[in-house]
Amino acid sequence: MSMALQGIKVIDLTRLAPGPYCTMVLGDLGADVIRVEEPGGGRMARERGGETDAADAQRRTAFNALNRNKRSIALNLKNDDAREVLHKLCQDADVFIEGFRPGVVSRLSCDYETLSAINPRLVYCSLSGYGQDGPYSDLVGHDINYISVGGALGVIGSPEVGPAIPMNIIADFAGGGLHAAMAIMAALLARTHTGRGQTVDIAMSDGAGYLLASMLSEYFSSGTVPTPGDTALNGSAPYYNVYRCKDGKFLSVGCIEPWFWSTLCQAIGREDLIEGQFNSANFKSVVGDLRSTFAQRDREDWWTELRAIDNIAVAKVYSLDEMVDDPQNIHRKMVVDAGTVNGEVVRQVGIGPKLSDTPGTIRTLGPTAGQHTREILDSLGYDSSKVASMIEAGAVDAG
């Protein structure tokens, strides 16, 4: 069976979560992704003392879904021979993606100008915190900083506590990795019309702001600045909130539509609350009433009863161990057995996009650093003596 991105060759020079997530998406959809890694795992591995156990390293990378469907070559790009290898890899590549701070790729001779001269059809993606230009472009940062500048952190939380720190989903994975994958595929489509590659400049702060399109539209229209916990969709409204049940577990309620709200109130015996759905002056007292009501029974009791009634939008708030055992997630194959490592079954997240004719697949588990170095060098025409000399000189690492 063919795959959507079959025949697309991706050179992945990224390190931290956003880039590997982007190339995981491309790999899941069929692209041939070659990870270019540093010998010995790079600076992070050196700071942490490096890998001491080969079996542990193999297990760790096999369980890391971000590494799946990829091959790995280890190149020391400070070495001329290694840079030559990278340039050869790019001769017939479709996509090159890097995640360094602006300017680093020029010092490594893998900037767009250099690589596009080798391959004018190359789609070149730079994925960084604040983008390739602007007053913040040289700043270091992480998800928490990018969602701060992008505006997302300022609307998440509660009036009592202030901003609440989410996991690094918004900037790293959505505004970064997924944003980049979408843009790369758009550039590949554009290439079918123009015959040329182009640069794709992805800033995670931009991505966080892009996700706020609806909220920004409301702000530009009304002039009202939303703050944590004071809008209908970020914690102030009783009909769009979370409630602790008797067993300490939470139920989420999303009954925005009046007919959803009235059906919920009737089902839980609180018909007295129906009329006050949109009276914001009473929101706190209604939230308090619902907290008291939901606290009377366990979450599973509420869920079993309410899910059986049409027009009530409720869901259990899962911890990760509950999420992976949920029948909907299992049915949708969002938790899968991806393979085995040393006899142990490897469970991973499944593939989100469901394509009917060219579905994504998990073909291989993540490789250890440099696992495919010899194989890739052989495909580029390097003979065994040249490979041996490059290994001896530290230009490449064969794992």
Write the pLDDT tens digit of every residue in 355-371: 999 999 999 999 999 99
**Do 48 and 156 sit in the same domain of this protein?**
yes
Domains: count for the chain: 2
**Do 381 and 279 sit in the same domain of this protein?**
no
User: pLDDT tens digit string along 179-194?
Assistant: 999 999 999 999 999 9
**Do 316 and 350 sit in the same domain of this protein?**
no
pLDDT (0 to 100) of residue 239: 97
Q: Which of 81, 142, 289, 298 is catalytic?
A: 142
pLDDT (0 to 100) of residue 276: 80
End-to-end CA separation in angstroms for the chain: 32
User: pLDDT tens digit string along 110-143?
Assistant: 999 999 999 999 999 999 999 999 999 999 999 9
**Do 353 and 317 sit in the same domain of this protein?**
no
- The pLDDT confidence band at residue 24, using thresholds 50, 70 and 90, is very high
Average pLDDT over residues 186-203: 98
In a domain, 142, yes or no: yes
**Do 121 and 205 sit in the same domain of this protein?**
yes
- Can you tell me whether residue 115 is helix, strand or coil? helix
Burial pattern 48-62, b for ≥16 Cβ within 10 A else e, equals: eeebeeeeebbbebb
Domain boundary among 298, 323, 348: 323
In a domain, 172, yes or no: yes
Q: Which of 28, 32, 143, 172 is catalytic?
A: 172
Could you list the beta-strand ranges (E) of the chain.
Answer: 9-13, 32-37, 70-75, 95-98, 123-128, 157-158, 162-163, 199-203, 240-244, 250-254, 314-316, 335-341, 344-349, 396-397
Domain boundary among 323, 357, 387: 323
- The model's pTM: 0.94
Q: Is the pLDDT of residue 151 over 60?
A: yes
**Do 260 and 342 sit in the same domain of this protein?**
no
pLDDT (0 to 100) of residue 51: 53
pLDDT (0 to 100) of residue 15: 93
In a domain, 377, yes or no: yes
- The pLDDT confidence band at residue 42, using thresholds 50, 70 and 90, is low
In a domain, 35, yes or no: yes
Q: Is the pLDDT of residue 344 over 80?
A: yes
Average pLDDT over residues 36-43: 80
CATH number at residue 307: 3.30.1540.10
In a domain, 104, yes or no: yes
Which residues are paired to 238 by β-bridges?
Answer: none
Average pLDDT over residues 325-330: 97
- 301 in catalytic set: no
User: pLDDT tens digit string along 66-92?
Assistant: 999 999 999 999 999 999 999 999 999
Domain boundary among 323, 355, 370: 323
CATH number at residue 109: 3.40.50.10540
**Do 50 and 114 sit in the same domain of this protein?**
yes
**Do 92 and 196 sit in the same domain of this protein?**
yes
pLDDT (0 to 100) of residue 45: 58
- The pLDDT confidence band at residue 1, using thresholds 50, 70 and 90, is confident
| Strands 123-128, 95-98: pairing kind | parallel
* Lookup: tokens for 238: 């009783």
Range of the domain at 95: 9-211+336-397
How far apart are alpha carbons 267 and 96 in whole angstroms? 55
* Lookup: tokens for 139: 């700043």
**Do 309 and 343 sit in the same domain of this protein?**
no
pLDDT (0 to 100) of residue 127: 98
- 179 in catalytic set: no
**Do 96 and 136 sit in the same domain of this protein?**
yes
**Do 139 and 84 sit in the same domain of this protein?**
yes
In a domain, 13, yes or no: yes
Owner of token pair 């060759």: 9
pLDDT (0 to 100) of residue 48: 53
Q: Is the dihedral of CA 200, 206, 209, 213 positive or negative?
A: negative
- The pLDDT confidence band at residue 53, using thresholds 50, 70 and 90, is confident
pLDDT (0 to 100) of residue 3: 96
In a domain, 389, yes or no: yes
**Do 180 and 128 sit in the same domain of this protein?**
yes
pLDDT (0 to 100) of residue 399: 81
pLDDT (0 to 100) of residue 261: 97
User: pLDDT tens digit string along 216-261?
Assistant: 999 999 999 999 998 999 999 999 999 999 999 999 999 999 999 9
